[in-house]
Amino acid sequence: MPRPLIGIVSNSHMINDTYAVQAVGDMNIEAVAEVCDALPVLVPALPKAAGIEDLVDSFDGFIFPGGRPNVHPAEYGEEPTPAHGDFDTNRDAVALPLIRACVDVGLPVLGICRGFQEMNVAFGGSLYPEIRDLPGRDNHRMPPDGTIEEKFAMRHEISLTPGGVFSRIFGSDTVMTNSLHGQGIKVAGKRVVIEGHAPDGTPEAIHIAGATGFALGVQWHPEYRAGEDMVSRPLFAAFGAAAAAWSQGRRQPAREIA
């Protein structure tokens, strides 16, 4: 039986500051191939490359991974400032409507870091440009120096809603995660349910209310050592199971995700 086909939405990148490419991190590819037991395919964040309907009809699930550019604040009714950083409006034009279209039909989606923020904006939510500038909040950005292991090290605990989707997936109401983000949820979207918080109150895990399929997002980066980490592995495994069910024509109700 063919493995499920999972699209990983890419990021714009420049090679030698001259050659434009679309890129997806190896960590995301490996997590899909090895933990989801699915076939990873790069989805270019270029609106002219493929229509939303074509994408929905072609894949069994989508991952919206992290990326350095941020969602343009015009997407949630605010003016850009230097604190908002760089933008990739092409990715906005693909990711935001694709998330809504997938949720509409029950196609599995997993948002990671920027993808988590995209899920919130897609349903009418807004973002803070810089979490560390808020009173009482911690610095959630990655350390500027050090090895990959040091950058992706466990940074803080996350408290989950008891009995919620994430609590059932992880088998616990608390988990330890890395932290590599600058922005974060300001106002949750209309259907966005926050199920996890960092110790400083920053939202870290969400699901989309009323979704008929897997529609979860996390602010951290579970793709790092996904096959080994006790939090990452069950998350990708649950997403992979949902994609396999879709591939076989069996929509998996949200209540059956865990």
Task: For residue range 247-256, list pLDDT tens digits in order.
Answer: 998 655 444 5
Residues in CB range of 125: below 8 A, 6 or more apart: 76, 185, 186, 187, 188, 189, 190, 192
Catalytic residue among 72, 84, 181, 221: 221
Please state the pTM of the whole predicted model: 0.94
Count CB neighbours of 209 within 10 A: 13
How far is Cα 135 from Cα 78, in angstroms, rounded to an integer?
21
Task: Say what the pLDDT of residue 254 is.
Answer: 47
Separation between Cα atoms, residue 53 and residue 190, nearest integer Å: 24
- Cα dihedral 193, 120, 102, 248 sign: negative
How confident is the model over 112-139, as a mean pLDDT? 94
* CATH code for the domain in which residue 14 is found: 3.40.50.880
Distance CA(125)–CA(94), nearest Å, equals 17
Residue 223 known to be catalytic: yes
pLDDT at residue 207 above 70? yes
Domains of the chain: total: 1
The predicted structure's pLDDT at residue 255: 46
Q: Is the four-CA dihedral 247, 250, 252, 258 of positive or negative sign?
A: negative
Q: Is 79 a catalytic residue?
A: no
Mean pLDDT confidence for 207-225: 97
The tokens of 202 are what?
A: 């920053």
- Residue 126 — pLDDT band, cuts 50, 70, 90? very high
Catalytically annotated residue among 75, 102, 113, 130:
113
Stretch 104-116: mean pLDDT: 97
Please give the distance of CA 162 from its chain centroid, rounded to a whole number: 22
> What's the confidence (pLDDT) of residue 139?
85
pLDDT at 50: 82
Name the nearest CA neighbour of 99 among 16, 180, 154, 43: 43
Structure tokens at 89: 């409006």
DSSP state of 227: T
What mean pLDDT comes out for the span 206-226?
97
Contact 60, 5 (CB under 8 A): yes
Round to whole Å and give the CA distance between 180 and 95.
20
User: Is residue 240 pLDDT above 90, yes or no?
Assistant: yes
Which tokens go with 221? 């980066």
Neighbouring CB atoms inside 10 A of 77's CB total 8
Active-site residue, from 118, 130, 204, 223? 223
Q: Does the active-site annotation cover 13?
A: no
pLDDT of residue 250: 62
Residue with tokens 């948002």: 111
Cα separation, 209 vs 224, whole angstroms:
27
* Helices H / strands E in the chain, number of each: 7, 13
The answer to whether 40 and 26 are in contact (CB under 8 A) is no
The pairing of strands 215-218 and 109-112 is parallel
Residues in contact with 234: Cβ distance below 8 Å, sequence separation at least 6, in sequence order: 169, 170, 171
| Residue 159 CB burial class (10 angstroms; 0-12, 13-18, ≥19) | middle
Q: Residue 150 belongs to what domain range?
A: 5-256
Question: 247 in helix, strand or coil?
Answer: helix
